[in-house]
Structure 1
């Protein structure tokens, strides 16, 4: 039996420190939704003296909250669906088909990962306006899908390259086409990487603020990141309601992340060891 050494103590201490740094702001946000504005100004990080549930209750009974949540779910799920379909198909082509310029096209797509979204917001806005997608959910979904394709293709291709080549050769001998092999073999074997990409894309889309702010004008189309601004008045900011709002909107992303956690670990580690 291995003895507990100083390396283990240092490792555990660092992990606990990181966990505290992550969990402390979340705990403060959850507790802040139970406090009055005066308590938040005086003791923002303490446990509430009186647990006030009216702020959470007001959010849950507000129809606009559910509308914002539904808009965010639609945008995030549509972005995930398009990214999984387009990214997996493109990565399959780069992994199994060799053609002139494939390396250049792959490098061109990966260059998009180094291009910040904020730097392209003005030409992107002009393009969205010209195609008639301004103030539409698809004006957010399509750019999010485009910006996420480089990262998703990289993950998909790394995973596809580790699949047994013998399986592909045997299917070709049996007369199965590329499309048939992709649908019948590649996708069923790629559940871990599909879950990994889905989680990253979903969380990124769920927390996106800049693109919806530029594209959407109507409050009926707002996701939760823009709906949160309803609590910012001209003279006062209702921080307790904002914290309650943020806490409730974190739950769908948290549930999605916990449900796909095992796929994230399997997908990221699948290509780490060859053989």
Structure 2
């Protein structure tokens, strides 16, 4: 006599998650972000507070003490005695010429390496990657001799050309990685419509690359604005000075005038801050482009 066995039903107890679980990872990230923000902001707060203090307040009060009567005259004194307007105009001219021209050349080179197949294209890309590792300081001697022979000493073009040359390797390497992520189906559709590489580059690749180009624009603008070594060698008179050279000159003349000196520093970073605020949205998109696959 056979007996039928009924399958056992296992009762599984479901563990209910708490209604409001605490994300400890997110809390830790917020705490780390707050700490980094405080560490980053403290020097800027110190510089700004010092720029609106009198000499007596600087030496008699705490570094982060808010002055009772702000000395805005420090800013007027910095503008009157420093070379900020001329230096700022020179730096702005150099950056507004160098950055767009350099980015366009780098984008064209990256497009050729990512879309046009030719012999030794991988080797050329590797040469660009190696070029980004060469420090500027090793080329200052030959660079000075070359610029002197070209008659471009104390000329904005004398620093624009080296800036473009030294900035190309990293920009080409980054843009090449971005261009390779653009679907190849776009190339095929352009070819079907009778378009060539120029139309593909100008009308499709560049518009699709706005986030990456904006991120590189900000980084390159800041690097060009703050560049010191090449400018110190090439721009030797006061009329052709850039902002970093003007800050050094102002500091050497007014070493003990901490209020005007810090006011001069605050005014020198305003153009960079404005550029960042204008391109902030594209900058964030460009920095995270390619981090998540669609």
Kept after mapping to 1: 8 A contact 2:82/2:250 = no
Distance apart, 1:236 and its partner CA: 4.0
| CA shift in 2, pair 1:235/1:174, >3 Å | closer
Mean CA deviation greater in 119-128 or 179-188: 119-128
- Within 2, Cα distance between the matches of 1:136 and 1:2? 64
Unaligned runs of 5+ residues in structure 1 are none
1:13 and 2:31 matched: yes
The answer to whether residue 219 in structure 2 is matched with residue 200 in structure 1 is yes
What is the CA deviation profile of residues 226-261 of structure 1, one whole-angstrom value per residue up to 9, with x for unaligned ones? 112343356843222111011011111011112111
Offset of 1:108 from its aligned partner?
A: 0.7
* Corresponding residue for residue 168 of structure 2: 149
SS in 2 for 1:115: coil
Computing the radius of gyration from Cα coordinates, the structure with the larger value is 2
Alignment of 1:95 with 2:114, yes or no, is: yes
1:117 aligns with 2:112: no
Structure 2, unaligned runs of 5 or more: 1-18
Q: Which residue of 2 aligns with 1:27?
A: 45
- Using the TM superposition, give the Cα deviation of residue 213 of structure 1 relative to its aligned residue in structure 2, in angstroms: 0.9
How far the C-alpha of 1:6 sits from its partner, in A, is 3.5
| Alpha-carbon offset, residue 224 of structure 1 | 1.3
The whole-number CA distance in structure 2 between the counterparts of 1:222 and 1:188 is 35
The structure-2 alpha-carbon separation of the partners of 1:151 and 1:234, relative to structure 1 and needing over 3 Å to count, comes to: closer
User: 1:209 Cα shift?
Assistant: 1.4
1:237 aligns with 2:256: yes
- Quote the Cα distance in structure 1 between the aligned partners of 2:249 and 2:66: 26
Once the two structures are superposed, residues 162-198 of structure 1 have per-residue CA deviations (whole angstroms, 9 ceiling, x without a partner) of 1121110111122211112111211122211111110
- So what's the TM-score if we normalise by structure 2? 0.87
**Contact kept? 1:83, 1:148, Cα under 8 Å:** yes
Assess if the C-alpha contact under 8 Å between 1:231 and 1:238 holds in 2: no
**Offset of residue 141 of structure 1:** 1.2
Q: Aligned pair 1:3/2:21, yes or no?
A: yes
> Match of 1:262?
281
Query: 1:234 & 1:52 partners in 2: Cα distance?
Result: 20
> Does the residue aligned with 1:200 lie in a helix, a strand or coil?
helix
What does residue 224 of structure 1 align with?
243
TM-score scaled to structure 1, two decimals? Answer: 0.92
Does the 8 Å contact 2:55/2:257 carry over to 1? yes
Inter-CA distance 155–202: structure 2 relative to 1 (3 Å threshold): same
Q: Is 1:59–1:241's contact at 8 Å kept on the other side of the alignment?
A: yes
Give the C-alpha shift of residue 159 in structure 1. 1.5
Cα deviation, residue 30, structure 1:
0.9
Higher helix proportion: 1
Aligned to 1:40: 58
Q: Does the 8 Å contact 2:78/2:261 carry over to 1?
A: no
Question: Which one of 153, 156, 159 corresponds to residue 137 of structure 1?
Answer: 156
Which residue number in structure 2 is paired with residue 86 of structure 1? Answer: 105
Report if aligned partners of 2:254, 2:261 keep a CA contact under 8 Å in 1.
Answer: no
More displaced 10-residue stretch of structure 1: 234-243 or 180-189:
234-243
Q: How many residues align?
A: 275
Residue number in structure 1 paired with 2:75: 56
